[in-house]
Amino acid sequence: MNRASRRYAEQESSQHAARGADAAGPVVPGEADESGALGDGAALEEFRIDLERIRFSSYFARLSDVTQVVPQSGVGPVMHNRLTHSLKVSAVARVVAANLAGAAAQHRAFARGEAVADSETGAIITRLGGCDTIVAQAAAHAHDLGHPPFGHLGERVLDRVARERLGLAEGFEGNAQTFRILTSLDTLGRDFAGLNLTAAVRASVLKYPWTRGRWVGVTAADLPIAERPRGVGNDPVNGAEKFSAYVLEVAELEQALAAFPAIGEGVQTVECAVMDVADDIAYAVHDLDDFTRAGVLQHAAVAAELQTWLAEDAALAEEPLGKIQVEWRRPGRSLELKWRSMSRKDAWIADRDAFRAAVQLVSDELADELLAAPYDGGIASERAVSGFTRRWIERLRSAIVVEAKPHMRGGHVRLNQRAWHEVAVLKFVHSSFVLESPDLAHSQRGQARVVEELVLGFDAWLSDPEDAGRAPRRLLEWVDEATEELFDLSKERPELLQGDITGTGIHRRGRARAILDYVSSFTDQQAVAAFDLLTRA
């Protein structure tokens, strides 16, 4: 197995291949060399083909009408959506990956006797399987494909309804849905399912390289939270909080990761870690553009929280947790709770002095500068927003650390301690003053109802013996495919399936998975339109 391997042999030329690139014949699993492909040039071409397949995907196009954080309606055309967010993640990932690829190239040149100095970073990158800028860009383009209508809100509703109302123990997870789209749902018009991407690109989207069930039954006594991979959570009954593959895609996950023998279990590949860091940077910084322009970040509230914590830091550190929780609405208390959560989960990197420095910087540059003058749409306001974004992107993407043996909650590629705390504070501002804002609660409750009613409505439709055959064609086909795949899995690897695996249970599970596939494929507007049709009297 190697980085350029595809799941299926391709006998047809790809529409995205450069002229003459297919002269060597189809890419067959196992034919590439151990260094990562069919030779550097051929591998690069295969990765470029993958990137174009993702760009041409209808799932990628739909992201232009999927909410990022702030809904599109009522705030003008300047707001980010999932598509523009993905493109900006790709831009950040390209620069980070290019720097790492350059270090790896220097190491290889030194090994050949063509360079005077070696690169320790390059040596680590090479041992871990390499870092290709095209693969990192492909990962960034693909990383949000699985987001349902209304972003994270829709994701939470789908997961809850799937587990509580449809009896689907795995529920729904955006990262796992992304992997399912790439490997099963999308199509190239060939005889195989999915986009048939290379192992490197498939592995690059596995931010949480395990299934939900992998962590069922694992208690804090078995493995403390601070020693678990980031995203697992602490729920021995339901399993992992975040995961990158459903049981139906386990074989795809295992094959993709098999191309990276130097990567430990539960650890991201280098390009995946680059994408993850780039996603954090883009989310922490670029989304502030939206919040500032939309006026949802108020100077007084943000400044009060940050500056009160800075002024009362020492006193707050001595307060009992219970008192802080009771008084969380008072300025400074929510930020103290954020710090305590960070220090509990990530003691390996969390440092109160570094956290204080990050709070001070964000207070100075966000509260006292960017938000000090209300955004009015003028040139001065636009320059202030753009300047803030440019400075912070450059600051964070130049704060990269590469480790051969990373902490389980870190990664081979991560932000340094300073930048890690700064991103944490920026994300705190997001969650406290935007995601939890009462101003968004009204519309979000309506959006949650749309998603829930769509799932239950389609389930009722498919349960109607007299009318089920008139359900949307794609939904019916996906029910058949998911059910057939689950029956195969129940025979080949029954240990992977949680819950009822009788014939009735398999049919129910297949229908539930197909409904989630169908509803999650809608854009925001398609979801609203479908809801209107299903519920119209």
Please state the three-class secondary structure of 237-283 as a single string: CCCCCCCCCCHHHHHHHHHHHHCCCCCCCCCCCHHHHHHHHHHHHHH
Name the architecture of domain 46-143.
Orthogonal Bundle (1.10)
Match 């990664």 to its residue by tokens. 411
Tens-of-pLDDT digits for all 537 residues of the chain?
789 999 888 877 777 877 655 444 444 333 333 333 334 678 889 999 999 999 999 999 999 988 766 555 444 445 678 899 999 999 999 999 999 999 999 999 999 999 999 999 999 999 999 999 999 999 999 999 999 999 889 999 999 999 999 999 999 999 999 999 999 999 888 788 899 999 999 999 999 999 999 999 999 999 998 899 999 999 999 999 999 999 999 999 999 999 999 999 999 999 999 999 999 999 999 878 778 877 778 889 999 999 999 999 999 999 999 999 999 999 999 999 999 999 999 999 999 999 999 999 999 999 989 888 888 888 888 898 889 999 999 999 999 999 999 999 999 999 999 999 999 999 999 888 877 777 777 888 999 999 999 999 999 999 999 999 999 999 999 999 999 999 999 999 999 997 888 999 999 999 999 999 999 999 999 999 999 999 886
Every domain of the chain and the residues it spans: 46-143, 155-259, 295-436, 450-536
- CA distances 291 to 68, 288, 295, 429, Å, are 11, 5, 6, 10
DSSP for 21-85, written as a single string: TTTT----TT-S-TTSSSSHHHHHHHHHHHHHHHHT-HHHHGGGGSBSSS-STTS-TT--BHHHH
Largest CA distance in the chain: 77
Q: Which residues does 251 contact at the CB level (< 8 Å), separation at least 6?
A: none
> Nearest 5°: CA angle at 228, between 226 and 234?
85
Nearest to 250, CA basis, from 209, 287, 216: 209
pTM: 0.92
